[in-house]
Amino acid sequence: MKALVFHEFGGPEVLQINEVADPELLAGSVVVRTKAIGLNFADIYRRRGNYHLVGQPPYILGYEGAGVVEQVGEDVTSIQVGDRVGFADVPFANAELVLVSADRIIPLPQEISYEQAASVLLQGLTAHYLVNDSFSVGSGDEVLVHAAPGGVGQLLIQLCKIKGARVLGLTSSNAKRDVALTVGADEVLLYGDGERDWVHSARDWSVGGDGVSVVYDSVGSTLMGSFGAARTKGTVVFYGMAGGDPALVDPRMLMDTSKTLTGGDLWNHVTTHEERVRRSSSLFGDLMAGRLRLDKPQLFALNDGAEAHRLMESRLSTGKIVLVP
């Protein structure tokens, strides 16, 4: 089979298409022929060497995708050859064939395309636990979303609006502001000239000027500003550091303001097959009902994976990037 591989850490230029051995079918697993593969920032970090990788080169990136079941282990009874499926936490997905443990298979409704599944699963499951588990968003809550036009940001906005919240987005340009407004944000601020500007603007936007109920912070370096934008007894959900490491937090500040800081990692919330299917089914239901909108992903052939990585690193894209074998 063909796979997108790299032999040493570095820039997008280290990626190349190679012929590699097909995955060997194991007990409790299936082999999926991929039709669409989601590209995520974690793939960038692993290619650079920022994230630990096990094994020896050639390394194969990718953890998210969708396709058709081609082989089924003898002990697997709930999955059939020909089934349309997706997965969101399976290594070596940047390939024509992927070995997937049966408990990580997510059935796809006929109404959900492979490209939609590869666009929504990882980021959608993340947004789903953030608005239901990290902070249970409800009607009337005021929500601030950092990096609002990004993949998770767009889904956060929409899931919060479905729950009846008011949503304020933050982004870096007018073009990206328009993207966040299009998916339903009530208002979108620009980071502007400094932290003080957007913090004060966010507080002014909130009803009563006391700050928002919850801030979803995936930037990291903005964490202290997020506390400033949150109301007394508000919550800051920290789930990423795309803009750099956060400052250290003084617990006395939390005590004095009765604010809550909680962290978020998807795989602490999605630990069973039942959880994967339940949360994915909720996302698919919202998509099919028209409550959740996905822009068409930007498609790249798998052998153009280096170009896809360059686009993602440029931060010029606002929607999902999908690789197609």
Question: Average pLDDT, stretch 152-168?
Answer: 97
Annotated domain spans of the chain = 2-120+270-324, 139-263
Give pLDDT tens digits for 45-74. Answer: 899 987 777 778 999 999 999 999 999 998
pLDDT score of 315:
73
Please state which of the ranges 51-65, 80-94, 116-130 shows the lowest mean pLDDT: 51-65
pLDDT score of 229:
97
pLDDT above 70 (res 259): yes
Give pLDDT tens digits for 198-252. Answer: 999 999 999 999 999 999 999 999 999 999 999 999 999 999 888 888 999 999 9
Q: Name the burial class of residue 33, with classes exposed (0-12), middle (13-18) and buried (19+) by CB atoms within 10 angstroms of its CB.
A: middle
Question: Average pLDDT, stretch 131-159?
Answer: 96
CATH 3.90.180.10 corresponds to the domain 2-120+270-324: yes
CATH superfamily, domain 139-263, is NAD(P)-binding Rossmann-like Domain (3.40.50.720)
User: What's the mean per-residue pLDDT of the chain?
Assistant: 94
